[in-house]
A and B are shown apart, each in its own frame.
Chain A
Amino acid sequence: MKTIRLMAVGGTIAYRALFNWTTPGMFVGTLLVGPLFQLLFFAYLGRQLQVADDRFYIVGNAVLTASLACVFGGTMAVANERRYGTLGHVLLSPRSRTLIFWGRVLPYAGNGLLIAVVTLTVGALLLGLRIPLSALPGLLLAMAAGSLACGFFGLTLGALGLRFRDVWVISNVAVALLLLLTGVNVPADGLPGWMVTVGQWLPITHAASAARSFAAGEGFASAAPALGRELLVGAVYAAAAVILLKIFETESRRRASLDTY
């Protein structure tokens, strides 16, 4: 119970402290309107080029939109502590560092899920995509798995912020690469083999695939393998983030460079 409390309460307090866009207008504009236009951009481009149908683009991009909040949020969870000079206090805590930082990811993953749900709903209404009601629980599950995996991916990038001066370059490039490598916009058979392979180890790839299966009316059994792979990718990044944070924390203490840039 204490562990859950640490993750939930700690994560919520940190989210409120570190999340920059405090006004509702900014939240809606940045995290809801922007991603919706991203979906529309690729849906219209896909329609024009006739690469795939609307479902492919709308569902895939809706899942991908979670990455904006999750990758930047996960990065922010570490990088902003450093920027505001509070990282040292966090690292002095007697509680488990792993739980503290995993807890940080949860609000951003929730944020990502909210963005994905809103984007899918509005995108489907605007572009006339019909999704069977029976598919909604599965879609929610796929988007939640994608958001969580993306949050841990962001936390891994944030851990790099303890070592590299400008972690935002890495985050921005990572978000752009997710557009290309996750197969959300270009079907896997249109990408080179190595890009597909890299994409298999990135968040969103399998969640988008599972979501498309659900949206097509296929059952849980059909989407379960992709869902499992997405959760595995998330678990790998969760572990990688903890290991990197441990390594870089130790190194920062040794070199007394925790708060230096």
Chain B
Amino acid sequence: MSTLRLLLVGTLLHAKQISRSPFEVAIALVVPVVQATLAVYLFRSGGEQHRLLEAAVGAGVMGVWSSVLFGSGGAIQNQRWQGTLEMIMMAPRRPALVILPITIATGITGTYALLATLAWGRLLYGIRLDFAHPVAFVVAAVVCVVGLGMFGLLLAATFVLMRNANALANTLEYPVWLVSGMLVPITVLPAWTVPVAAILPTTWGARALREATSGGPVWPSVALCLGISLICLLVGFLVMGRVERRARAAATLALA
């Protein structure tokens, strides 16, 4: 119970903190809307007007991933810059339990992106929000956000060691958008990307949302997204513990 409370209070604290940052909010709101606009005009130019809702959802998921990616990298770096990383690591709970709320909070901030792209599409382009499975869409969105938050923990664990974690984050944005099939179907990508896509929770989260939008078996994708995310969480716990001990032993926590 106390662990659950720690996670809930921590997530709320960090979600509040992120939502007070004009930079985070502006990026979470504006950039996905630009991406959604680009997707809408691209799909229109390609004669795919019937897939505009799918395009808006895809752009929203891209925004969620960006939020988690930059949030997880930035969260550790921000704690480092604020001088609070050592205090977090010295808390009488496992480091992963203290960091996980940060990464889940970045996922929750990312839902701004999903909501913004849907609202933008509805208001400006008149895209009807006719989801094939509305309830499944909400469930898939929640699983996707929480799942990406868990994946973020694994990223954060590796980011603790890196001085310029945000630079690595820059590198990972487009590859994951591409390989996960958020806008580009995986079927048009080279065959070698298929196994890479299969182990990413982003692939199954995006697929679940797409199937809930346009029709298809949503629940297997939801289950796979959740399953892979839980594995990421477990690996993230282990890696975070090892990385933390290594950083303490080398006295590089604040300097890494």
Contact = CB atoms under 8 A, between A and B. Distances in A.
Contact of B184 (A41, A179, A191): A41
Contacts of B189: 44
A168 B175 contact: no
Interface residues of A, number: 35
Nearest to A31: B170
Nearest to B177: A41
B56 to A, nearest CB: 15
A73 B167 CA distance: 14
B60 to A, nearest CB: 15
A172 B38 contact: no
Contacts of A30: 167-168, 170-171
Interface in B179-195: 183-185, 188-189
B41 interface: yes
Given A33-B171, A179-B38, A186-B41, A51 B184 contact: no
Nearest to A21: B167
B8 interface: no
A177 B177 contact: no
A173 interface: yes
B37, B43, B44, most chain A CB atoms within 10 A = B37
A6 interface: no
A37 interface: yes
Given A49-B48, A186-B41, A40 B178 contact: yes
A26, A45, A51, most chain B CB atoms within 10 A = A45
B222 to A, nearest CB: 25
A29 interface: yes
Interface residues of B, number: 32
Given A20-B164, A37-B174, A37-B178, A180 B26 contact: no
A49 B58 CA distance: 15
B171 to A, nearest CB: 4
Interface string B40-63: 011111101000000000000000
Given A180-B38, A180-B41, 9 more contacts: A26-B168, A30-B168, A37-B178, A40-B178, A49-B43, A49-B46, A49-B48, A169-B27, A190-B44
Interface of A: 20-21, 23, 26, 29-30, 33-34, 37-38, 40-41, 44-51, 165-166, 168-169, 172-173, 176-177, 179-180, 185-187, 190-191
Interface of B: 22-23, 26-27, 30-31, 34-35, 37-38, 41-46, 48, 164, 167-168, 170-171, 173-175, 177-178, 183-185, 188-189
12 contacts: A23-B164, A33-B171, A37-B174, A37-B175, A37-B178, A44-B188, A44-B189, A173-B27, A179-B35, A186-B41, A186-B42, A190-B44
